[in-house]
Structure 1
Amino acid sequence: MEWLAGAYSFSDELGGFVIESVSGSGTQEDPIVVTETFASSSPVTLVIRTKRPIRPFDDGTLYANGILYMRVVVRNGSGQGWVEFEFELQERLHQPSIFSDGLSFDQRSEKSDEISSDAYDKYSRDFEPYDKLLFHDGKVDPGETAGFSFLITDYTPKSVFYLVQDPRIPST
């Protein structure tokens, strides 16, 4: 199913999780909120598509402008506790994002005030050849939810990109 919010659509078509709801316009004041349920502790991929014309850096909400404030709320339906949670942006499915594609978790800012989680105390960002956010120092037990907020910037916007979400379980 495809969910519309702001200038974008969001889809769980690649499987492994279910989108429960999507709302918001994608601005700082009204971020896109995607609520999901994971059935396992395996990585899943959220497909994000532009649904309005692309106009980089436009300051309104009528266009896909390459600036997308998001909040992802994930319910752990896996039966296993998660000790970390990683997000990775990909412009091409299954290929790491590179600097020249313009897609990142606000890579131009050294420390982003837009990055937070209500379940994990710390995060680290990894750029080149990936664009990753790893949340750690916390946990999400089975049946609990975790919220994550971040800013996605794309200085050369494309009509589709991907957000890989990877819950991490303790190693044995």
Structure 2
Amino acid sequence: GIGTKEDPIVITEELNSATPVTLTIRTTKPIEAFGKAGEVANGIIYMRIETLNNSGQAWVEFQFELQEILDQPSVFGDGLSFDQRNKSPDNIVASNFAEFDRDFEPYDRLLFKNGKIDPLMTGSFEFLITDYTPRWTFYLVQDPRIPTG
């Protein structure tokens, strides 16, 4: 896809463990904030991630974290977030989880909860990433959570 609501970027992946993995996202087009999607990198990316759980353990939560600099929490000044300006987002959904929480400053995290993805099953996550100061590269940390106790 080109990253619009009607044509999201779709990533199909398989995770072989319940440990965090980092997806590096790079633009291949010139950066132009608020430019036309598909022609430039405009700082607005609708994503759908379809993840096969091949870890052998059920995932009871799934967290995403945005980072503009690898291994450093996202801060307010970087402009990167899970649509932080929208207080009641309707574009954050998951096939296997009924609820989500968002945390901002000093992190930009999206936690899906109240559900599970069993081994060898696939879960789908949809969300909007906004970056009001677009950069060539940023990172999306994915953290499947297993039961504790």
- Say whether the fold is shared (TM-score over 0.5): yes
SS of match in other structure, 2:77: helix
The number of residues matched between the two structures is 149
Contact 2:3 2:37 in 1 (8 A): no
Encode CA deviations 1:124-152: one digit per residue, 9 max, x unaligned. Answer: 00000000000000000000000000000
- What TM-score does the superposition give when structure 2 sets the normalisation length? 0.99
CA distance in 1 between partners of 2:118 and 2:3 (Å): 29
In the alignment, which residue of structure 1 is the partner of 2:64?
87
Aligned pairs for 1:1-172 within 5 A: 24-172=1-149
SS of match in other structure, 2:35: coil
Query: What stretches of structure 2 of length at least 5 have no aligned partner?
Result: none
CA distance in 2 between partners of 1:150 and 1:138 (Å): 17
**Which one-letter code corresponds to 2:25 in the other structure?**
I
The runs of 4+ residues in structure 1 deviating greater than 4 Å are none
**CA deviation after TM superposition for structure 1 residue 111, in Å:** 1.4
- What TM-score does the superposition give when structure 1 sets the normalisation length? 0.86
Query: What stretches of structure 1 of length at least 5 have no aligned partner?
Result: 1-23
**Aligned-pair Cα RMSD in Å:** 0.6
CA distance in 2 between partners of 1:125 and 1:60 (Å): 25
Percent of residue pairs bearing the same amino acid type: 60
Q: Which has the higher contact order (CA 8 A, sep 6+)?
A: 2
Encode CA deviations 1:21-66: one digit per residue, 9 max, x unaligned. Answer: xxx1111100001000001000000000010000001133200000
